[in-house]
Chains A and B, each alone.
Chain A
Amino acid sequence: MNFESYNPGKFYDEFFSKPGIPRAEVKKLIDRVNSFPDTELTNRQKAAEAAFMQMGITFGVYGDQKGLEKIFPFDIIPRIINAQDWNLIERGVTQRVYALNKFIHDVYNEQKIIKDGVISKEIILSSVAYRKECLGLKPPKGIWCHISGIDLVRDENGQFYVLEDNLRCPSGVSYVLGNRRVMKHTLPVVFESLPIRPVDDYSNRLADTLRNLIPESILKPNIVILTPGIYNSAYFEHSFLAQQMGEELVEGRDLVVMDDFVYMRTTKGFERVDAIYRRIDDDFLDPTVFNPDSLLGVPGLMQSYRSGKVALANAPGTGIADDKAIYSFVPEIIKYYTGEDAILPNVPTFLCGDEKSRKHVIENIENFVVKTTHGSGGYGMLIGPYSTKEQQQKMIENIMQDPRNYIGQPVIQLSRVPVIVKDRFEGRHIDLRPYILYGEDINVLPGGLTRVALEKDSLVVNSSQGGGSKDTWVLAEGSK
């Protein structure tokens, strides 16, 4: 198998600038792969898949009763990002996370951005992710979003755009680390020939980020990861991070609040908890404050948090910045808090809550991607050009019922990379989710999750919708 017959098509191809002309950063990889004996690549692909299965790097699919878990489809041809592109990404997402953090703090405190007329009060108050319970909260060191993931795409000219912000509980970083581990065994020689930046110290940095939330007077703090449990689709990730950091993985039932302090139930009695990296949504965090039916959370947790007895990462309420209607204001938000222009542009976005924009989206629905403002996982979205008339009609009805909660975006023809399809390479669309830690300073993991839409022509990369992933190799500065 080789790249000779590979057709990059009319899209931006991450590997080839023209048919047969590889980009500088991937040339070594292509030469190596072309020199492999015929069945070598398929054998290695199989071995990699078997490794994931045995390691149990799997996820559950909602609504799937019996099968319970699957491996996240993986393609052994890596995605390579050169140092120059990475520099842009790094600066862009750092700026964005810094500004969004300021924004969240402002929204739940002085609300200056509203008073200054940059963003309307209605748009904020009407967001389903807005938490009035968070008003007046002052998290340690003013940091709300300690861990975020920003989804990036490239259009047909190779221009990077931010597609969405994930400031609640972005998942997927364990796949970045798992993919890397498997790739080191799968293509060691190719790996050696390139200056690939390591991703392995993510768990150290995450531990530092969490430690940063705890007063230094506590010498041996207890940091825990709060998971919904083994049936959650991201359970593997929760346990993996706990293991790598050497911290306890807890469920809601392991925790109890007494006199505003949080304790965990251990074999030797109750032990105080100082910081919680929570991987459950705001709604389930504390049944006495949010969803009263939640069995996953801890009664009294918010009161403990409010009184500064425990730290939470991410802080409750950060979902406001994930809202896709708020998203359309992020360039203004960045300008307002930093005085700078956004380094990474947004995809043009039409808010259906606005009458003129709504009309435009509905009239041209076959050319638009329509999403709910608070959805994730690729659920409940419409991709105009690939939808039927009925689907479009259904979506128009949804929009009319609740216009505030829908946005329209022109279809971006995402960039493509070659993936192995049976015994040849074919181009498939991808995105990129870098992970950003906000501790003493803002740190971007040099890598990220490259998600691939494995179905031919599909633009939806979510794992819940048949997406797969690739290892993402960021090359060091000064490399050729």
Chain B
Amino acid sequence: MLSRVANSIFWMSRYLERVENAARLIETQLHMLLDLPSLREDPNAWKPLVDITGDGDYFSEKLGDPTRENVMFFHTFDDDYPHSIKSCLTAARENARSVREVIPSEIWEMINKLYLDVAGMGTSLKAFTNPHKFYSDIKMASHLIIGIAYTTMSRGEAWHFAQLGRYLERADKTSRILDVKYFIMLPRLDYVGSSMDNVLWSALLKSTNSFEMYRKRFNLISPQNIVDFLIFDREFPRSIIYCVSHAEQSLFRITGTPVGAFNNELERQCGKLSGKLNYSNVSEVMSIGLHEFLDGIQSDVNNLDNAVFENFFAIKKVTDSNRAGFQIQ
């Protein structure tokens, strides 16, 4: 597969995952606030949604206070912010357009439609008359695109690059959400055991779409179980360990190296991260400190990202060293 094409598929899938995450985050927040009248008056109720992005400086400089409107605009329509839903959709669509010949037509058509729908909102006000529906539609469109890919794409390189992009993005997002939300909630010890507490922790689970699946494994909502579930549950498709191990599988399918061995820096880093997750557990994480642990995961994912770029996408110059190695087919 052409390096440029692989790169576009990888990013198309990452951007779509980003869109879905942003939509879910806001949708959950809206739901949660309906249940917590007291928090609705809190001027900082929406602030965690800015903190999660790590782009708080940009936000306060451009938009000021983290009001509901500002935060929703920021995450949804802000053309200047590269991670807003609209910016990500634009990028996903540009990438999809450049690989139209490789992906199933229906995927291109759905991405195109989703983009046209969101861009067609023009001003933000229109969407916000029924924001629940708006964000839920975006989320469902994303599910639909993933479903089309699942049922129509051959499990070749294109598929695995899309998987790699999606799972790396998801691992990163789950760790960020867990990191930020956990620390916002912990200080409110007065809530412990109250229904308020349950609502807040449930919201964390819902913002990663994990509430129902969590309930099936643990009946009680407890911070430690939630951490366990979101990092170490091997069966839940948004847990960090699941994302990393699926990214790993796709990566090794692409290169043809058996899992557990490595031939280059990328494979080594991926295996190392996977090992770290495989052989750790929640009590170890808590003793290291959750924030430190998640910080480490985020920087590992980042490094992996760079290694993916170097290994597959960077335009290689024709030099005598890679001349010797090129294949003639």
Contacts and interface: CB of A to CB of B under 8 A. Distances in A.
Contact of A220 (B4, B318, B329): B329
A319 B3 CA distance: 33
B254 interface: yes
- Output the residue of B312, B315, B326 with the most chain A CB within 10 A: B326
A258 interface: yes
A239 B101 contact: yes
B162 to A, nearest CB: 13
A341 interface: no
Mostly, the B contact residues are helix
Contacts of A251: 4
B1 A266 contact: yes
Contacts of B1: 266-268
Mostly, the A contact residues are mixed
A63 interface: no
Interface in A192-249: 220, 222, 229-230, 235-236, 239-240, 242-243, 247-249
B209 interface: no
B108 A56 contact: yes
Contacts of A239: 97-98, 100-101
B116 interface: yes
B130 interface: no
A272 B329 contact: yes
A55 B109 contact: yes
B13 to A, nearest CB: 15
A129 interface: no
Nearest to B116: A53
B254 A267 contact: yes
Contacts of A242: 101
A39 interface: no
Contact of A269 (B113, B254, B325): B325
Contacts of B100: 56, 236, 239-240, 243
B2 interface: yes
Interface string A361-395: 00000000000000000000000000000000000
B2 A270 contact: no
A265 B312 CA distance: 10
Contacts of A270: 322, 326-327
B198 interface: no
Contact of A243 (B105, B109, B116, B322): B105
A474 to B, nearest CB: 26
B157 interface: yes
Contacts of B109: 54-56
Interface in B106-147: 108-109, 112-113, 116
B316 A265 contact: yes
Nearest to A256: B318
Nearest to A270: B326
A311 interface: no
Nearest to A222: B329
A265 B102 CA distance: 16
A268 B326 CA distance: 8
B6 interface: yes
Contacts of B322: 269-270
A257 to B, nearest CB: 9
Nearest to B157: A267
B112 A266 contact: no
Contact of B101 (A54, A220, A229, A249): A249
Contact of A267 (B97, B116, B312, B318): B312
- Output the residue of A248, A249, A251 with the most chain B CB within 10 A: A249
B326 to A, nearest CB: 4
Contact of B2 (A55, A220, A236, A266): A266
B323 interface: yes
A187 interface: no
A137 B327 CA distance: 29
Nearest to A218: B329
Given A230-B94, A230-B98, A55 B105 contact: yes
Contacts of A440: none
A27 to B, nearest CB: 36
B34 interface: no
Contact of A253 (B4, B105, B113, B327): B4
B3 A266 contact: yes
A250 B318 contact: no
B315 A253 contact: yes
Nearest to A245: B101
A457 interface: no
B328 interface: yes
A147 to B, nearest CB: 18
A336 interface: no
A339 to B, nearest CB: 43
A210 B2 CA distance: 20
A254 B2 contact: yes
A264 interface: yes
Contact of B327 (A220, A243, A247, A268): A268
Interface string B88-104: 00000010011011100
Interface string B304-329: 00000000100110100011011111
A273 B329 CA distance: 9
Contacts of A272: 328-329
A254 B116 contact: no
A268 B329 CA distance: 11
Contact of A54 (B102, B113, B327, B329): B113
A210 to B, nearest CB: 15
Interface in A256-294: 256, 258, 263-272
Nearest to B6: A267
Interface string B1-15: 111111000000000
Contacts of A265: 2-4, 315-316
28 contacts: A54-B109, A54-B113, A55-B105, A55-B109, A56-B97, A56-B108, A229-B98, A230-B94, A239-B100, A240-B101, A243-B102, A243-B105, A247-B101, A248-B2, A248-B101, A254-B2, A254-B4, A258-B326, A263-B326, A265-B2, A265-B3, A266-B2, A267-B3, A267-B254, A268-B1, A269-B326, A269-B327, A270-B326
Given A230-B94, A248-B101, A265-B316, 17 more contacts: A53-B116, A54-B112, A56-B97, A229-B98, A235-B97, A239-B100, A242-B101, A243-B102, A249-B101, A250-B2, A265-B2, A267-B1, A267-B2, A267-B6, A267-B157, A269-B326, A270-B326
Question: Which 5 residue pairs spanning A and B have beta carbons closest together?
Answer: A242-B101, A243-B101, A270-B326, A239-B100, A239-B101
Interface of B: 1-6, 94, 97-98, 100-102, 105, 108-109, 112-113, 116, 157, 254, 312, 315-316, 318, 322-323, 325-329
